[in-house]
Structure 1
């Protein structure tokens, strides 16, 4: 006679191993191909410990999905971790004050990390999913198996949307972020002019703007032109000799100067400009980061919960969460992610809607 006591989720020596074994049993039994494994899974769902262990496994799966999801804007985001939800002024951690000479026996001069007028903070984001009790009774475990990935992916999609909404407003580059938006097409000459304009600007530290880590953001419709400019061995550009301006082919000067970033989220929001619009934004290694992602200490990954509202038996005793809620038999799962997306130092950004 089969007994659950011999199953890995009961017999494994550590909690982590029992969580793993619960996930293995769920994987074997959810399809129904192995009738013995599915019968064992159904029996395990009726225990107090298996749903809890499987919930832990789902949480780990959701975190893995969060880490594996496509992070469109990760090269732009600079992380700052805080201990509360209170919005605060951004401290200039990227100033890098120059060391000064110190004479023999002289005290070292103190540096100062200046507060800026920029503010940032973290906020709650999340989603809940209701899975019906009937799905489990019908042995349809596909929704249950897929929901951790849905929660993990949802976390990253939320962050991608937050960044895209910062960059684009009302179907155009956001003027509150980029300032004046140009109306020139993406060409070698116009890219060169934009880079020169940025290189001549001064940041809030009275230094020239860093142009060593610039990211070229565009929608999918501009991919061909971006590739023709950035990946060509030689390109045609205007060359000025005194008062004479001529077109000539030269070795591509833009190789490794900017990093292209194609974004579907940005392209969608740009509307009619998505085939022509382009922008330059500082990357995460710049000393003038353009976008700040604020994380809450201890809450850096997605948090998964299951709603425990199934009631108790008339004669006493707990009812497992997978039996469904008291009101409608639905099993509710919730994912929570805590972060904030705020503009950083935007002196070093530039944008054009195209011609």
Structure 2
């Protein structure tokens, strides 16, 4: 976390607003007690995480005191939530390089409708003749999001201990879990534990899996095959950019093909050398989740071509619940009240057993869309 910047009473992560010294955050210009306390919480969190020596010891002592003596933990909880958001946004994901993104309004299945018909070449119309009618049909693809999450229990003793490792590492762990969940679901659109996902790559979709190894000639043939396909109206399939999705085992092979300045392959005319035209058409996406999901003997040899996101014929999509597109971090408040009156902060421990429980929630789903511009191959392992 580089900074907490106060905007309209809320804390938002931003860069470049640190004050001098070992760090710290800019206080609000006007006297708003809540915002001032939130900045104080952010400064203390920064000192605990990033300072060293005597400054770090002082910060930890102050944090323990704050957890036990005031409403400061509520504010610190807000800082944790924003640290989670910052780290979630900074962790690179793989799925965005080969799958699109959409949002849904609720948990009910959403139909992604492809309106078919009406786009074929226009019919000639004679003088005074009636225009021919055309039928419109639909192809539907279903997307459904689901709630996912985890609960992390800590103890009051863990919070009080000077090292604070469990508390400090919590936002990073939950942020990484959210990103990994997205990547796992996207990869599962391509493979299952038994191998290539035959629910999508099948003869009925015109993209049944091939069994050719990844090399220049076979990649060229796959790109050509996609370009020669037709849609339901006989129109050409246009995918200006394709993503070559491979597991780590084929990373080097893919790099040798797509990073070469010149490529060589053999066709009916013999051995041919040419400039690497594939570089402008195909980008490599190394997906480490493929061999995690695929337990088959060919897990290390499978490769895929799908349209790069942003084009009209996206093959895969990730769905998020509107208004809840990012992870949500909460703390359980079951501490009871002081005998003399007054609330007790969650971080001071549960009424029953002194535990502090954090919960992360993420709502996400994945779905197949248009198979027409896709290709898969699963050659035998050598």
> 2:20 aligned with 1:20, yes or no?
no
Change (3 A) 1:16 1:267: farther
How do 1:180-219 and structure 2 match up within 5 A? 180-204=208-232, 206-219=234-247
CA displacement at 1:348 relative to structure 2: 1.5
Q: Deviations over 1:97-142 (max 9, x none)?
A: 79x9xxxxxxxxxxx9985321112221111111111112222312
User: Which residue of the partner structure matches residue 3 of structure 1?
Assistant: none
SS at match of 1:130: strand
User: Which residue of the partner structure matches residue 90 of structure 2?
Assistant: 68
Structure 1 unmatched runs, 5+: 1-7, 101-111
User: Which residue of the partner structure matches residue 246 of structure 1?
Assistant: 270
How do 1:163-174 and structure 2 match up within 5 A? 163-174=186-197
> 2:289 aligned with 1:265, yes or no?
yes
* Of 262-271 and 153-162, the range deviating more from structure 2: 262-271
**Does the 8 Å CA contact 2:116/2:137 hold for their aligned counterparts?**
no
User: Which residue of the partner structure matches residue 249 of structure 2?
Assistant: 221
CA displacement at 1:42 relative to structure 2: 2.1
**Does the 8 Å CA contact 1:51/1:322 hold for their aligned counterparts?**
yes
Change (3 A) 1:332 1:115: farther
What's the C-alpha RMSD, in Å, of the aligned pairs?
Answer: 2.9
User: Which residue of the partner structure matches residue 326 of structure 1?
Assistant: 351
How do 1:96-115 and structure 2 match up within 5 A? none
* Of 142-151 and 12-21, the range deviating more from structure 2: 12-21
Change (3 A) 1:18 1:312: closer
TM score, norm. by length of structure 2: 0.79
**Does the 8 Å CA contact 1:181/1:350 hold for their aligned counterparts?**
yes
Q: Distance in 2 between matches of 1:306 and 1:91?
A: 40
Q: Distance in 2 between matches of 1:9 and 1:312?
A: 31
Q: 1:128 aligns with which of 148, 151, 164?
A: 151
Q: Distance in 2 between matches of 1:216 and 1:41?
A: 49
Q: Deviations over 1:293-352 (max 9, x none)?
A: 222221111111100111223343322111111222111111111121111111221111
CA displacement at 1:218 relative to structure 2: 0.6
> 2:195 aligned with 1:176, yes or no?
no
Q: Distance in 2 between matches of 1:116 and 1:274?
A: 31
* Of 32-41 and 176-185, the range deviating more from structure 2: 32-41
Change (3 A) 1:86 1:275: closer
**Does the 8 Å CA contact 2:116/2:138 hold for their aligned counterparts?**
no
Change (3 A) 1:118 1:276: same
Change (3 A) 1:10 1:262: closer
User: Which residue of the partner structure matches residue 106 of structure 1?
Assistant: none
Q: Which has the higher helix share?
A: 1
CA displacement at 1:255 relative to structure 2: 1.5
TM score, norm. by length of structure 1: 0.85
Q: Distance in 1 between matches of 2:44 and 2:63?
A: 7
SS at match of 1:134: helix
SS at match of 1:260: strand
Q: Deviations over 1:236-283 (max 9, x none)?
A: 21243xxxx312222222122111001111133334324322111122
Q: 1:307 aligns with which of 301, 325, 332?
A: 332
CA displacement at 1:36 relative to structure 2: 3.4
> 2:362 aligned with 1:341, yes or no?
no
Q: 2:341 aligns with which of 302, 316, 324?
A: 316
Q: 1:83 aligns with which of 86, 105, 119?
A: 105
Q: Distance in 2 between matches of 1:134 and 1:32?
A: 23
* Of 32-41 and 124-133, the range deviating more from structure 2: 32-41
User: Which residue of the partner structure matches residue 233 of structure 1?
Assistant: 261
**Does the 8 Å CA contact 2:241/2:307 hold for their aligned counterparts?**
yes
Matched length: 333
**Does the 8 Å CA contact 1:69/1:156 hold for their aligned counterparts?**
yes
